[in-house]
Copies of this chain bind each other. A is one copy, B any other.
Amino acid sequence: MPNPTAAILIIGDEILSGRTRDSNMHYLAGELTKNGITLAEARVVSDDADAIIGAVNALRAAYDNVFTSGGIGPTHDDITAEAVAAAFNTPIGIRQDAYDLLAAHYARSGREFNDARQRMARIPDGATLIDNPVSIAPGFTIGNVHVMAGVPSVFQAMVASVLPTLTGGAPMLSQSWRIDRGEGEIAGPLSTLATEFPDLSIGSYPFQENGAYGSNIVIRGTDAGQIDAAMSKLAHLFPA
């Protein structure tokens, strides 16, 4: 059975303007790979309701799991929760358990639990909360969509909360082999090798180092024996 699939939807003008470099996609990719879930697509859209709604609906129909990052804070440009509720055609309002968590948090810290902060308790009907041990304001899961914060430390904590609840597959294994020759010299035998091992993914990643060309070959799959066999053939074709 093929591994379950996932997509990530990153929401934020600051990524698309080049001001901020996203790190959540790369983090999630690594965590999913370890857990046998295939990250099949990533998208970045701006803080625009129609763009978010369109992407959420396209991705949740196409993949087993969708993770969103960003837009769930207290400010006017945080519109993800509303947009996800609209994508599911579901009402959204202040949720008592989220409100209580936040009220207790602000009472402890002596800061005002004002209207803006209360907005972070707005959760679509029928969602379950995602724990946020870093800054309390929860994420939520609705259907197969997991709505999480954009701040990397909070995103990572939420991924740790969600992953154990998901059905994983066989962990994706990989081995790599460095060849100090340009891709063009190795492409023929490599293509033959890929045909011999149809269940493995064999990728070639070229590099330049001190003016010379080389390629890193990465063999991925879920069957360690097949990967070993393909690696032996590769090492025989292109000795180190």
Give A residues with C-beta under 8 Å from B.
13-22, 25-33, 38-47, 51, 73-77, 111-112, 114-117, 119-120, 135, 151, 153, 172, 174, 182-188, 190-191, 194, 201-208, 215, 218, 220
CB of A148 to closest CB in B, whole Å: 14
Residues of B within 8 A of A111 (CB): 182, 184-185
CB of A112 to closest CB in B, whole Å: 7
Residues of B within 8 A of A44 (CB): 25, 41-43
* A20-B205 contact in complex given A116-B184, A187-B116, C-beta closer than 8 Å: yes
For the residues of A in contact with B, the DSSP-based class is: mixed
Residues of B within 8 A of A21 (CB): 26
CA of A101 to CA of B43 in the docked complex: distance in angstroms? 35
* A17-B41 contact in complex given A76-B187, A183-B74, C-beta closer than 8 Å: no
Most buried by B among A40, A45, A74, A182: A74
CA of A194 to CA of B76 in the docked complex: distance in angstroms? 8
Q: Quick check: A188 and B114 within 8 Å, CB to CB?
A: yes
Q: Quick check: A202 and B18 within 8 Å, CB to CB?
A: no
Residues of B within 8 A of A184 (CB): 74, 111-112, 114, 116-117, 120
Q: Quick check: A191 and B76 within 8 Å, CB to CB?
A: yes
CB of A28 to closest CB in B, whole Å: 8
CB of A104 to closest CB in B, whole Å: 15
CB of A206 to closest CB in B, whole Å: 6
Residues of B within 8 A of A18 (CB): 26-33, 39
CA of A156 to CA of B27 in the docked complex: distance in angstroms? 25
Residues of B within 8 A of A185 (CB): 111-112, 114, 116
Closest to A207 in B: B151
CA of A29 to CA of B21 in the docked complex: distance in angstroms? 10
Q: What 5 pairs between A and B have smallest CB-CB spacing?
A: A116-B187, A18-B29, A18-B30, A76-B191, A117-B184
Q: Quick check: B14 and A115 within 8 Å, CB to CB?
A: no
Residues of B within 8 A of A31 (CB): 18
Residues of B within 8 A of A187 (CB): 74-76, 114, 116-117, 119
CA of A190 to CA of B204 in the docked complex: distance in angstroms? 49
Q: Quick check: A40 and B30 within 8 Å, CB to CB?
A: no
Q: Quick check: B75 and A183 within 8 Å, CB to CB?
A: yes
Q: Quick check: B30 and A203 within 8 Å, CB to CB?
A: no
